Amino acid sequence: GHLEGGAGIAGLLKCILMLMAGTCPPNAHCRQLNPHLSVAGFPCFFDTEGIDTHLNSALTGVSSFGFGGTNGRCDIWGQARFGVNKSGELNLEELDQIAAVCPVTLGPIDSVTGEPMGRPSGERRRRRADVLRDEFAPYDISRYAYTGGFRYRMAELPEEEEGGGEEDLPADVSPYICGSWSGFTQMEEMESQGGGWYLATVVLGESRCETFDICLNKERSLTIYPAIGRAGPRIWVQGPDDRGEGRRWAIDGRDMEVSAGAVYQVHFKWSTERMEIHWEEVSESSAAMALSFEHTYYIAGSFSRWKCVALTAGAEEGAWEGSLRIGSQGREEFQLLRDKDWQQAIYPAKPKTARAGVPARGPDDLGKGKHFVVRGSPGETVGVELSIADAKVVVRVVPERGEATEWQSSEGWERHAYSAVGSFNGGVPIPMSMDLMRPGVFRCRAKVGDIFYPEYAGFLELFQVAVDDDLQHTLYPEANLSTSGEVIVRGPDDYGAEKNFLVRSITPYKAFDIVLDLTAEDRRKIVTWAWVQDELEDGA
């Protein structure tokens, strides 16, 4: 029977014991699910035997739905105190907060309240749930990304406190901006605007994309950088230190359909608690405030032992010319670089490409292992021509004998191709097509197979999303076997070889759509999947 008034405390005690043992107990007398119970796609598992969680700490909870309409929820975090998962001792006196990562800013937040976690101050926080957002509002995103209101706050918002958190750098310290618009060769002092704000003006070059970071007093050991590479303005700002590892902000006019020559002002806010970066397009009359720099393109390849050789500016604007000599093997490989920067490489969409018609890519940092290939007689000189104007790239090789070969780039969101790569479709990548009504959103469809996995009580498929069918550049979940929208999506890079999205169904041959949303600010929503409705599936 039902414990009525005692049901809640019984569930609470069960949750506590589960955490202490690091084990999920079976559902008593559960041997077979009701055939009328549809749980496809629902994140639940009905365990019929004790399951080892393999965790020494976890978060669990119990819900109460009262007869009178009063609902309650209790979440419990705890450590395993006995058994194979027994954890070490935790000194609660030293525990301030349990940190999580905001999926929008990628900055640290308190896992209970969603409040941003600044640098350690030494002050102990005894109160935990001291913030109540609007009803049904999420707590898993940072207050800096949250746009709703608050029903209760124990402390006022820092922005509303006297002084507004304004603080300038010391008089002997200045921020300098350094970017691809100067080939990362010049550091420009940012102009103080007061209140901790600093300003710099930049102009988008012929590639319509510029990247940058900031450092203090021109010291690379004091670099200020984003939490991820090619970051937008909402991403958490880190530093100053020397651990940036090439991470930069990117002003990408290709996504915003902004032409070359557009002028932007970059605003930087210094603070010991939270630094900020944002930028805005301004009138072309402000271009005089920006640095003037003549870019140079280089060729690097097997013929030069991958050392950079400068190209010569052609007669037309955006045109560059050079040559290479075919070696004894009768073939050479090469890439083109903007200002010797390997994060601004121009390369083909496919590795070792000699065939015309394969799209050119770049300038960007996704060209690892992808080289243009030219063949000819040993000792033959082959001309190399590059044209880049308003982000349109054309690469052309002209041999002494025979026809020229040409590669051209695609524009806008389709400057790269995307595909779903996984256990379905025999391992063959499934191309994704852009949604014409939603630029930057790509889709494809797959089906669950007929292999049943007893340990998961269902039919499974695993997948990642690859850039240009390249498994060295995939988008993948932060944790392996994560379901749709569950965790932060990482990449594209080659660090996710053992991390896949999980699709589980209780029936075989069920179709599902995979969606890549490059416009999503919540990084859990960059790659998602959803079941295809039966009526749509029948008509597919």
Name the percent of the chain lying above pLDDT 90. Answer: 67
Name the percent of the chain lying above pLDDT 70. Answer: 93
Strand partners, 408: 394
* pLDDT confidence of residue 220: 94
DSSP code per residue over 443-487? EEEEE--S-EEGGGTEEEEEEEEEETTEEEEEEEESSTTB-TTSS
Q: Enumerate the H helices of 322-373 as residue ranges.
A: none
User: In CATH terms, is domain 418-531 a member of 2.60.40.3620?
Assistant: yes
Strand partners, 489: 477
* pLDDT confidence of residue 112: 84
DSSP code per residue over 373-438? EEE--TT-EEEEEEEEETTEEEEEEE-SSS--EEEEB--GGGGS-EEEEESSGGGPPEE-EE-TTS
Which residue, among 358, 359, 407, has the nearest Cα to 387 in the 3D structure?
407
Find the radius of gyration of the CA atoms of the chain. Answer: 28
* pLDDT confidence of residue 324: 96
What is the band of 289 on the pLDDT scale with cuts at 50, 70, 90? confident
Torsional class of 515: left (φ above 0), alpha (ψ -120 to 50), beta (otherwise): beta
CB 109 within 8 A of CB 101: yes
Q: What is the mean pLDDT of residues 194-215?
A: 94
* pLDDT confidence of residue 161: 41
Q: Tell me which of 28 and 429 has the higher pLDDT.
A: 429
Return the structure tokens found at 260: 């070359």
CA dihedral 348, 350, 351, 354 (to 10 degrees): -70
d(Cα 309, Cα 332) in Å, to the nearest integer? 15
Element spanning 529, H or E: strand 527-531
d(Cα 425, Cα 437) in Å, to the nearest integer? 27
83-88 contact pairs (CB < 8 A, 24+): 83/21, 83/22, 83/23, 84/22, 84/52, 85/21, 85/22, 85/23, 85/52, 85/53, 85/54, 85/55, 85/56, 86/22, 86/56, 87/56, 87/57, 88/56
Element spanning 539, H or E: helix 534-539
Q: Where are the domains positioned within the chain?
A: 4-79, 96-156, 175-289, 297-408, 418-531
Instruction: Tell whether the model's pLDDT for residue 129 goes beyond 70.
Output: no
d(Cα 405, Cα 331) in Å, to the nearest integer? 14
CB 231 within 8 A of CB 197: no
d(Cα 133, Cα 109) in Å, to the nearest integer? 15
Q: Tell me the pLDDT tens digit for each residue of 74-108.
A: 989 888 988 888 887 766 666 666 789 999 999 99
CB 388 within 8 A of CB 421: no
d(Cα 169, Cα 188) in Å, to the nearest integer? 16
Instruction: Tell whether the model's pLDDT for residue 502 goes beyond 80.
Output: yes
- Specify the amino acid at residue 310: A
CB 391 within 8 A of CB 209: yes
Which residue, among 448, 504, 446, 500, has the nearest Cα to 39 in the 3D structure?
504
CB 253 within 8 A of CB 260: yes
d(Cα 462, Cα 459) in Å, to the nearest integer? 11
* pLDDT confidence of residue 158: 64
Q: Cβ contacts of residue 90 below 8 Å, gap of 6+? A: 79
4-79 adopts what CATH topology?
A: Peroxisomal Thiolase; Chain A, domain 1 (3.40.47)
* pLDDT confidence of residue 79: 87
d(Cα 393, Cα 206) in Å, to the nearest integer? 10
- On average, the pLDDT of the chain sits at 89
Number of neighbouring beta carbons within 10 Å of residue 114 = 21
Q: Tell me which of 97 and 303 has the higher pLDDT.
A: 303
* pLDDT confidence of residue 539: 43
